[in-house]
Amino acid sequence: MHLLRGVLGFGLVAGALQYAQDIGWWVLLPAIGALVCFRGCPMCWTFGLIETVMFRRSASGCIDGSCADR
């Protein structure tokens, strides 16, 4: 779900930037949509993605409740 929100958010940002001169103030609609997808700022979404990946990697190394540092 995290990746889907990111793809949709970055797609909306790209569309807003590409058509900014053509649609004028209407560019705010996809920009607001992107913020909703990111649930805030794109940088926060990126840090959340990094945390999600790191958590999944660390959780996969646990056997019988004991985890070894890699």
pLDDT in tens, 18-62: 988 888 888 889 888 888 888 888 888 888 888 888 887 766 655
pTM, full prediction? 0.62
Check residue 66 and give its pLDDT: 61
Beta-bridge partners for 63: 66
Return the domain boundaries, the chain: 2-59
Q: How far apart are CA 16 and CA 28, in angstroms?
A: 8
- DSSP 8-class letter at 66: E
Per-residue pLDDT, 3 = 79
Q: Any long-range contacts for 14-21 (C-beta under 8 Å, 24+ apart)?
A: none
Residues 6+ apart with CB under 8 A from 30: 12, 13, 15, 16
pLDDT at 59 (0 to 100):
63
For 56, phi then psi, to 5°, come to: -65, -35
